[in-house]
């Protein structure tokens, strides 16, 4: 499984033609305590860069953008009862949705972990 990152602080872990999407640990730290996650509908078509869900925190509501074009195939229903999973395990158990990739070549425009870490250090 390969993990990619966006400049908007989303991550996507790709396995075959499916990507699991969430926000980075850096992003959850900036948001503070997550109080609610508005997940996308399964079956929804997501365009790369389109806001597909919202993470509400004590500080603000923040859009989460799809890192790729594709169809939402699954959502993390555990977040309905435990939105704080995004705070405690943003890059694993706090995942938001899964998407079937329309074009895996789009992944080449995203950052790997090393590039993302350098990007965050520059902020």
Given this model, what pLDDT does residue 41 score?
Answer: 97
Please give the Cα distance from 53 to 44 (Å, whole number).
11
Given this model, what pLDDT does residue 12 score?
Answer: 98
Q: Which residues of 66-101 are buried (b: 16+ CB within 10 A; e: fewer)?
A: bbbbbebeebbeebeeebebbbeebbeebbbbbbbb
Given this model, what pLDDT does residue 36 score?
Answer: 97
How much is the pTM? 0.96
Given this model, what pLDDT does residue 75 score?
Answer: 98
Mean pLDDT, range 23-45, rounded to an integer: 97
Domains of the chain: 2-105 (2.40.50.100)
pLDDT, mean over the chain: 97
Given this model, what pLDDT does residue 78 score?
Answer: 98
Given this model, what pLDDT does residue 81 score?
Answer: 95
Q: Is residue 23 a contact partner of residue 90, using CB atoms and an 8 Å limit?
A: yes
pLDDT in tens, 75-105: 999 999 999 999 999 999 999 999 999 999 9
pLDDT in tens, 105-120: 999 999 999 999 999 9
Q: Is residue 75 a contact partner of residue 97, using CB atoms and an 8 Å limit?
A: yes
């Amino acid at each position: 499984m390969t993990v990619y990152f966006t400049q908007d602080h989303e991550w996507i872990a790709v396995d075959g033609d499916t990507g699991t999407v969430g926000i980075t640990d850096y992003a959850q730290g900036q948001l503070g305590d997550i109080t609610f996650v508005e997940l996308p509908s399964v079956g929804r078509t997501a365009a790369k860069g389109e806001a597909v869900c919202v993470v509400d925190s004590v500080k603000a509501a923040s859009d989460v953008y799809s890192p790729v074009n594709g169809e939402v195939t699954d959502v993390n229903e555990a977040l309905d009862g435990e939105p704080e999973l995004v705070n405690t395990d943003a890059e694993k158990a706090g995942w938001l949705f899964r998407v079937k990739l329309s074009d895996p070549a789009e992944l080449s425009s995203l950052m790997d972990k090393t590039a993302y870490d350098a990007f965050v250090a520059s902020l």
